[in-house]
Amino acid sequence: MWQKSNIVSYRHFRTARRGLLVGGIQLGFCGLLAWRMHHLQVEKAESFRLVADENRINLRLIPNQRGEIYDRNGVKLAGNEASYSITMVAEDAGDIDLILERLSKLINLSPEDIERSKAELKQSAKFLPVTIVDRLARDDIEKIAFNAPMLPGINPEIAFSRTYPLGEIFAHVVGYVGPVSTRDLELRKDPDPLLRIPRFQIGKVGIERELEITLRGKAGTKKVEVNALGRVMREIERKEGSKGANLKLTLDTNLQAYVRARLGNESASVVVMDCNSGEILAICSSPAYDPNKFVRGISFNDYGTLRDDNHRPLASKTVQDAYPPGSTFKMVTILAALEAGIINHRDKIRCNGHVEVSNRKFHCWKRDGHGNVDLVKSLRESCDVYYYELAQQVGIEKIAEVARILGLGQSFDIEMSAVTSGIVPDKLWKLSARSREWVVGDTVNSSIGQGYVLASPLQLAVMIARIATGNQILPRLIKSVNGVEANKETSKLKLKKNNLNLIRKALFEVTNDKRGTAYDSRVLTKKSQIIGKSGTSQVRNISAVERTLGVLENKDLPWEQRDHALFVNYAPYDDPKIAVSVVVEHGGSGSTVAAPIARDITLQAIYKGTPPITAYPVEDRAKIYNQQRELKKLMPRTTKSSKVQA
C-alpha cells in the first residue's frame, strides 16, 4: 500500500515539474514578445513614423526658367515667354478618343498631335498629366474653359517656352533648344533629373548647347502627399529653383543685322572682331533659318527643305567650315621668309607667268606675268610666282610655324558648335593624314593658300587682327555671365615688329594704290581707311587643254565649280580697331565680290551705323546710297523697351 502511494506521489511530482517548465517557457515567450513590442512601438516609433511619411510623401521637381541671352547693348536674343498648354489626365478623361475628338473641334489639333498624345497616354500612369498641345493662344484657352463640362480630364496650364525675338539673325550663334531625346540622355553619364521631365527642353546647337548647364539653372522641389495608388492628394511644401544665368554676348545686334542683310542670298560668312579685345562684334552665316521652328519640333517638310538646300542654311559656316584661304595666306608665306631672314623688302623675283617645279607648271593668275616683283608689289598685285619661288627657299615647316602663330590650324575656345581647327599642313601631317611623303609641289601649292591648307572665317579674322596689332588676340563671344565679366589678357606675337610693319605697308597699297587688286573697294576717309587682302581659291583643277584654249570664267561654270571669294581687312590703318573676314562660297573673284562686302561692313562697324556717303569713292556713291536705303528696310527695330540689362 505504501509502495503504491509513493508511485502516485512521484507521478504527480513529475507532472507538476513539467507544468512549471512549460509555464516558464510560455512566460519567457510572452516576455520576449512584450519586449519586442515595446522596442518597436516605443523605442523605434520615430523611425517607423518617418518611413511611413516617406511612403506617403513624394518629392517632385519644379522646372525653373532658363537663363536669357542678350547682346552687348542689352537687346534680348533669347528669352522665355509664358505660353498656355493643354494637358490630359487619362483616368479623369474616361474615353480618350472621344475627348480628343471634341478637343480637335475647338482648337487646331493636328493628326500628329493626336497620335502622339495617345501613345504618351498609354505609356504614362493614368493619373499623370500628359501634354496634348502647347503654345496656345488665349482665345483657344477661353474656348476650352467655356466647354469644360464636355472635356473631363482636360486641364489648361501656363508654362514658359523659349523664344528668339530676332529669328534667323542670330540663329547660328545662339542656336536653339528642343525636347530631350534618348540620345541626349545616353551622352550624359549622370543626367540631371530635370532632363527626365517629359518634353523638357535643352540646348541643341550653338550657345544654347555649349553653355547648357549655365543657362539651365537648378530645379525647384515640392513635397506632395499621395495615396496608396500614387495619386497626388495635396501639396505640403514648395521650394522654388534658381533661374539659369543670364548671358551678355559681345555681339552688336545692329551690326549683326546689317551683315545678315548685306549678304542677302549669298552662301557666305562674315566675322567682325574688335582688334584689341578680341570681342566678336558680328559673326554671321548666310543663308540662315528660324530657330523658333525648332523649339516646338520642326516639321519633316520644313527640315527637309533646309537640309536639301545647296547653300546649307543649317551650317554655321563661320566656325564649322574651312576653306582654302587663297591669296589671303600669302601674308603667312612672306612673314615666314622675313622671319627666316631669307628675303628683305628690296629683293626681287622675276615672274614670267609660271614656274616649273618637278616637271609641273605652276601658273600665276596673270598669264603674261608681273615682271620683276618685290615684297610690296607681290601683295599689292597678288603675284603667285613670287610666292612659289619664295616658298621653296623657306620650306613648309617655317611657313606652318608662322601660320600657327597667326591663329591658323587651331580650334578656338568659343561657345559655338563644331568649331573646326582647319589644316596647317607640314611633313608630319601629310605622313599621318595621307600616308605619303611631302613633296616640293605641296610646298608650292601651300604658299598661295591652296593644296591642303584650310582655314575658317573665324581663323582668318584672328589672323588679320594679329597682323594689325602684333598681339596674340583671342576671339571672345561671352561678355559677361550674370553681369560678371571675365578677365582678358593678351601677349605679344613672337614675330618681329619691323616685319609686321612691312606687311601692313604692303597691305595698305592693296586697297589704296591704283595698282592694288582691291583699289575699287577703297575708303576715302582716314578715320575708316581699310587695309586688306583679297583671295580667290579654286575648288576645281584647271586642265592643260583649258589653259591653252582659255580658262573658263566663273560665270560660265556651274555654281558648285566656281571659285570661293575671300577678303580680310582691318581699319583704320594708323589705329586698328576693327578686323573683318568675308568668305563668299563660289562667289568668284575675291576683289570684286568679297572686298565690297567687307568694305561696307567695316564702315558700318567703324561708324556704329550708316557711314557718310563721302567715305565712298565718287563713282560708287549713287549705288551705295540706294543700297543703304534698301538695307535699312531689312533691319529690325530694337527699341529701348526691348532692352533689358543682362
pLDDT in tens, 448-497: 999 999 999 999 999 999 999 999 999 999 999 998 987 777 899 999 99
Whichever domain contains 262, its CATH number is 3.40.710.10
Are residue 171 and residue 69 in the same domain, yes or no?
yes
Give yes or no for residue 390 having a pLDDT over 60: yes
Give yes or no for residue 280 having a pLDDT over 90: yes
Q: Looking at the domain assignment, is residue 299 inside a domain?
A: no
Are residue 240 and residue 267 in the same domain, yes or no?
no
Are residue 194 and residue 287 in the same domain, yes or no?
no
Which range, of 55-64, 170-179, 265-274, 423-432, averages the lowest pLDDT?
A: 55-64
Q: Are strands 69-70 and 247-249 parallel, antiparallel or unpaired?
A: parallel
Q: Looking at the domain assignment, is residue 174 inside a domain?
A: yes
DSSP codes joined into one string, 317-364: HHHH--B--GGGGHHHHHHHHHHTTS--TT--EEESSEEEETTEEEE-
Q: How far is CA 150 from CA 94, 95, 144, 156, 188, in A?
A: 12, 12, 9, 14, 44
Counting the structural domains of the chain, the total is: 3
Q: How far apart are CA 556 and CA 296, in angstroms?
A: 43
Q: How far apart are CA 91 and CA 86, in angstroms?
A: 16
Q: Looking at the domain assignment, is residue 35 inside a domain?
A: no
Q: What is the pLDDT of residues 613-643, one digit of tens each?
A: 999 999 999 999 999 999 998 888 764 434 5
Cis peptide before 179 (omega within 30 of 0): no
| Helix residue spans in 211-263 (DSSP H) | 212-216, 253-263
Q: Which listed residue (85, 117, 267, 327) is catalytic?
A: 327
Whichever domain contains 226, its CATH number is 3.90.1310.10
Q: How far is CA 42 from CA 28, 30, 31, 52, in A?
A: 20, 17, 16, 15
The answer to whether 124 is a known catalytic residue is no
Cell of 96: 480618350
Report the b/e string of 109-143 with b at 16+ CB within 10 A: beeebbebbbebbeeeeeebbbbbbbebeeebbee
Cis peptide before 572 (omega within 30 of 0): yes
- Output 247 or 295, whichever has higher pLDDT: 247
For position 644, what pLDDT does the model report?
Answer: 46
Phi, psi of 210 (to 5 degrees): -65, -30
CA neighbor of 403 nearest in space, from 353, 452, 343, 354: 452
Q: How many CB atoms within 10 Å of residue 421?
A: 15
pTM over 0.75: yes
Q: How confident is the model at residue 58 (pLDDT cuts 50, 70, 90)?
A: low
Are residue 607 and residue 550 in the same domain, yes or no?
yes
Q: How far apart are CA 178 and CA 292, in angstroms?
A: 10
Are residue 269 and residue 381 in the same domain, yes or no?
yes
For position 394, what pLDDT does the model report?
Answer: 96
Q: How far apart are CA 256 and CA 608, in angstroms?
A: 11
Give the residue from 249, 265, 285 where a domain finishes: 249
Measured between alpha carbons, how far apart are the two ends of the chain, in Å? 116
Q: What is the pLDDT of residues 207-233, one digit of tens each?
A: 999 999 999 988 777 776 766 555 556
Are residue 426 and residue 396 in the same domain, yes or no?
yes
Q: How far is CA 407 from CA 317, 421, 424, 463, 575, in A?
A: 18, 10, 10, 6, 21
Q: Looking at the domain assignment, is residue 341 inside a domain?
A: yes
Are residue 192 and residue 261 in the same domain, yes or no?
no
Which range, of 195-209, 374-388, 466-480, averages the lowest pLDDT?
A: 195-209
Give yes or no for residue 38 having a pLDDT over 50: yes
Residues making up the chain, counted from first to last: 646
Q: For cell 556717303, what's the residue?
A: 613
Average pLDDT, the chain: 87
Are residue 215 and residue 126 in the same domain, yes or no?
no
Q: How far apart are CA 267 and CA 259, in angstroms?
A: 13
Cell of 79: 528669352
Cell of 73: 547693348
Are residue 238 and residue 328 in the same domain, yes or no?
no
Q: Looking at the domain assignment, is residue 152 inside a domain?
A: yes
State which residues form the domain around 207. Answer: 53-84+164-249
Q: Are strands 129-136 and 76-89 parallel, antiparallel or unpaired?
A: antiparallel
Give the residue from 110, 137, 157 where a domain finishes: 157
For 41-103, the three-class secondary structure string (H helix, E strand, C coil) is HHHCHHHHHHHHHHHHEEEEEECCCCCCEECCCCEEEEEEEEEEEEEEEHHHHCCHHHHHHHH
Q: How confident is the model at residue 108 (pLDDT cuts 50, 70, 90)?
A: confident
Please report, as a single letter, which amino acid is at residue 397.
E
Q: How far apart are CA 278 and CA 490, in angstroms?
A: 9
CA neighbor of 581 nearest in space, from 315, 290, 329, 264: 329
For position 310, what pLDDT does the model report?
Answer: 94
Are residue 427 and residue 532 in the same domain, yes or no?
yes
- Cβ contacts of residue 190 below 8 Å, gap of 6+? none
Q: What is the pLDDT of residues 534-564, one digit of tens each?
A: 999 887 777 666 666 667 777 778 888 889 9
DSSP codes joined into one string, 140-185: HHHHHHHTGGG-TTEEEEEEEEEE-TTGGGGHHHH-EEEEPPHHHH
Are residue 267 and residue 241 in the same domain, yes or no?
no
Tell me the mean pLDDT in the region 70-84: 91
Are residue 195 and residue 326 in the same domain, yes or no?
no
